Chains A and B, each alone.
Chain A
Amino acid sequence: SQQGEEDPQALSIQEGENATMNCSYKTSINNLQWYRQNSGRGLVHLILIRSNEREKHSGRLRVTLDTSKKSSSLLITASRAADTASYFCATSYDKIIFGKGTRLHILP
């Protein structure tokens, strides 16, 4: 399956710490995307990294992609309470397939 798989399934950290989530996938991709979903809401696109890119930044977000290992990581630096949400990686070839997500909880 093309579906990405996030790890860990759940993560709790103290506010101000960095949060790292990983994603593994099985097939070739054109790009990999990360999304955030707050409880009861739709998904929000965070960042897209193309298959020929290795690292990308957006504000406090840093995404890496290793196509040889078929894996990606999302790093959120200096976490805030508002970062509490589920985070999904989505792999794209002809269509986007989502993983099951990582539930991130930022403790005050």
Chain B
Amino acid sequence: DAGVIQSPRHEVTEMGQEVTLRCKPISGHDYLFWYRQTMMRGLELLIYFNNNVPIDDSGMPEDRFSAKMPNASFSTLKIQPSEPRDSAVYFCASSPPGRGYGYTFGSGTRLTVV
């Protein structure tokens, strides 16, 4: 298995532009999580899905952020419009059905908004 695949690895964009981050979870995993990591705030859970349905989006910073999971093998996190304070590393993770399993993380997308 190729693991959790995120794209792009790096993204540099200008303030005000739309940014779309992509994630392909491990086949058979029915939980998908989006995290953001910064030095100041550490790892923050933004949103998570179970069987493609958003379960908890309380960590999404504001309306500029949106996430979708149209099918079991693909999810997107969109920021529109982007701001410099959105600069961070964004991780996607997936886990198998049921509780009591660790997460498999992707390599992350390093986003820089200038």
Contacts and interface: CB of A to CB of B under 8 A. Distances in A.
Contacts of A48: 100-102
Interface of A, helix, strand, loop or mixed by DSSP: strand
Contacts, number: 49
Contacts of A44: 105
Interface in A16-48: 30-31, 33, 35, 41-45, 48
Contacts of A45: 102-104
A33 B45 CA distance: 16
Given A42-B91, A43-B105, A98 B43 contact: yes
Interface residues of B, number: 20
Interface of A: 30-31, 33, 35, 41-45, 48, 50, 88, 92, 94-101
A34 B8 CA distance: 27
Given A42-B91, A42-B108, A100-B42, A95 B102 contact: no
Given A30-B99, A96-B33, 4 more contacts: A31-B100, A43-B93, A45-B102, A95-B33
